[in-house]
Amino acid sequence: MKRILLVPAVFFAACTPTLETMTHADAVAMCQAQADEAAQVVSGTASAGVNSATGPTFGLGLSLNLTPRPRAQTFEACMNDLAANGQIVEGT
């Protein structure tokens, strides 16, 4: 009986996701990047190239964020989430 209960417990423990840990400096950099992205209203990309088989190629991408969030709010939420999940470690 104990073996039957043990197998599902081991299976679920193996499938539990492990969260990536990072130093405080890495967490600050990641959260700052997220905050900068969330605060942008308009962002875009452009590309151009030449291929000998198909000729010139051009590409444009435009992203509009209709609900930008303040950088400080996004940064604080990101840092709080990482700390609550135990992802920020010191001395690594």
Evaluate whether residue 90 is within a structural domain: no
For residues 60-86, average pLDDT? 90
Tell me the per-residue pLDDT of 5-55, one tens digit each, with 9 for 90 and over. 555 555 555 566 678 899 999 999 999 999 998 888 887 888 999 988 889
Q: How far apart are CA 14 and CA 8, in angstroms?
A: 10
On whether residue 27 sits in a domain, the answer given is yes
The b/e string for 4-41 (b: 16+ C-beta within 10 A; e otherwise) is: eeeeeeeeeeeeeeeeeebeeebbbeebeebbeebbee
pLDDT the model gives residue 5: 54
Q: Would residue 89 count as lying in a domain?
A: no
Q: How many domains does the structure of the chain reveal?
A: 1
pLDDT, residue 91, reads 61
Tell me if 66 is assigned to some domain.
Answer: yes
Between CA 87 and CA 40 the distance in angstroms is 26
pLDDT of residue 40: 85
Say what the pLDDT of residue 90 is: 79
* Residue 51 domain flag: no
- Determine, yes or no, domain membership for 52: no
pLDDT on residue 63: 80
Domain that holds residue 35: 2-44+57-84
